[in-house]
Amino acid sequence: MNRLLLAAATVASIATALPAAAQFAKPEQAIKYRQSAMALQANHLGRLFAMANGKVPFEAKVAAEQIEIVAMLNKLQFAAFVDGSDKGDTRAKPEIWSQRDKFNAREAKSHEDVAKLVAAGKTGDFEQIKAAVGAVGQSCKGCHDEFRKE
Ligand code: ASC
């Protein structure tokens, strides 16, 4: 029993440590990983945009759930822009690697805006969530404009 518990605890701690330490045997795995995280993010952000735009009714609880998912995905995607993953089936511009400081600044801004969205989600206030979702969208767009090929 103790051994089982220990095994479960070990698995849990590894799972917790994974986001920052995503590992890729091949560049294409990193590319697929970040594209997957962004596709999921677009889905969950889409629900928030729809609420912010009044296309679906605002529900604070649903919004907060979506925001938590976005916050996790936002961390995951950035762990996958590893060296060597600039070539292949990707629209990532080489500048991500050659101008890493600028990309890192985009990442920092993204995390900052998502942290504000998480805070807004906790208030349950529509106007605050709407404003914060808008800022996150601008953050996404700014980075895509600068670092994503057409
Ligand atoms: C998304 C998505 C993007 C951004 C951007 C925000 O959901 O797929 O590229 O948000 O549209 O302006």
- Note the pLDDT tens digit of each residue in 68-89: 999 999 999 999 999 999 999 9
User: pTM for this structure?
Assistant: 0.85
- Contact residues for 130 (Cβ-Cβ < 8 A; gap 6+): 51, 52
Q: Ligand 1 site: residues with CB under 6 angstroms? A: 42, 45-46, 137, 140-141, 144
User: Ligand 1 pocket test: which of 51, 141, 146, 150 has the largest number of ligand atoms within 8 Å of its C-beta?
Assistant: 141
Question: What's the gap in Å between 65 CA and the centre of ligand 1?
Answer: 19
Q: Among the atoms of ligand 1, which is closest to the Cα of residue 136? A: 6
**Model pLDDT, residue 15:** 47
